[in-house]
Structure 1
Amino acid sequence: MKVGKIGIKALVLVLIMFYALAAIAWVTGVEAPEEEEFELGEVTIEDNGTELAISIDEVSEYVTEKIEDAMGSVPEDMEMFVSGAYRATLLGISEVWEGEVPSRDDIKIVSSLPEPASALCFQYITGTGPSMENLRAENGVFEIVLQDGTLVENTSVQHLYELSKNITADDWKFEISSISTGESFVVEVKGDVFPEDFFGLREKVVFGQTASEKEGQEFTWEWSDINDGFQGFEDYEIFEGLEEPAPDSATIVALIAVILAIVILALII
């Protein structure tokens, strides 16, 4: 009788071990889909009946030209502001229009960030930027409204450049909305996207205050890392209020199976 019980227990152990190994193989199998690398898409809008796919390079070229025209040169961190505004636009449009292509004259963007490169990016998207506003009968709307509710009426490059001296992480908020429906979505960059010393370094390096060579290098590294994140990280990693996508259901089932097998095995032993 005792031998029979031992034999049954051994059979159960073998079956459980086989079940656990099969589940592990399922989780780690070669057929499991590989995680896709993030790819920065294009902002797709309709303009006068024509569908346009606006790339970040196209926006960056426009912004560079307008800032150089106004100031003679561009701040070294310009690209970071373009990337942040561009990503905010992509997310806002996807949330408000849910896969549909918005008309340029239906897009309204309200930014809390008083800074020229991001402003020019939004102006390009809405068709309200310098040399663009007279190309069509109707354009979208772009405004800068500070955190205290003040509307910035002077959106010239030079004025916004001066205002940007005192920006913080809290200013990186953008409301994208549909003029026709009133539906809107607020895009807010996570505070931890920016290193703790970033805005202090920016003020010293960009605005001509005394900055050491080391501080200049640190600032370049920091804004470059932020820019890489804006162009390469998933939305939930850089914007507030978004959840990380749930794991594949098959993976969850397999992991549960492994855990149950281990628990049962422990109880029997």
Structure 2
Amino acid sequence: MTERVTLITGASAGIGTELARVFASHGHRLALVARRADRLTALATEITAAGGKAPIVIPCDLVEPDCGDKIAEALAASGVEVEYVVNNAGFGLFGKAVQRDRADQLDMIAVNIRALTDLSLRFSDQLIGNRGGLLNVGSIAGFLPGPGMAVYYATKAYVLSFTEAMRAELAPHGVRVTVLCPGPVPSEFQARAGFRPGFDSAVLKVLPADVAQQAYRGLMANKRAVMPGLGIKIVPFLLRLFPRSFILGAVGRLQLRQR
């Protein structure tokens, strides 16, 4: 029988690292993907030292168009099949879209949308054959328009819509599909985005380790969506109470104030 692995992107920091630890602690063999080989190697060593199965380390920049091919080749060379795909990699950039570097924003689309879609579809046959699962990391931003972070919010709206549709398509095949929608999480994401946490972040934030634990439980229970933290859970409900124009203005004022 071919050995099965859980593929986790963006595993070198933040929620991705914690997801790797959680899956490994539950007996999964991992295939870890991120740009920084040294961090992946250190994480793989940590997991092995704790008694976990030796992870496959795949240094790869998901901005590159051929990243999916490289990942597939590395897995084939290791003689494994994918049982779970965890599309965690992603980044955001604060500031008005028309004032930010266009190439950087297109890179964001490449990582947050193209790579996520590629890996979700590329390994879907293996997920079906192994009756595994797909966990896509979205954001509470996916429910909102996002002036001051327009492209990022739009990418996460895509992740939410795409994952829910994939859930409907893969459900008859016994594949679990879950979208994780955290709010502010203290991690390298904020520094890269140029984000200065405010009062809202302090109130809504959940630690990466807690997010990862809830995500794992939600996926195994085949929940449609996981929204860590009480404050985040009420956001979709509150959105029904206010006009879209009001939400648009409120988010814009909040975002641009935090730069």
Both structures adopt the same fold (TM-score exceeding 0.5): no
Task: Considering Cα pairs closer than 8 Å and 6+ residues apart, tell me whether 1 or 2 has the greater RCO.
Answer: 1
TM-score of the superposed pair, with normalisation by structure 1:
0.26
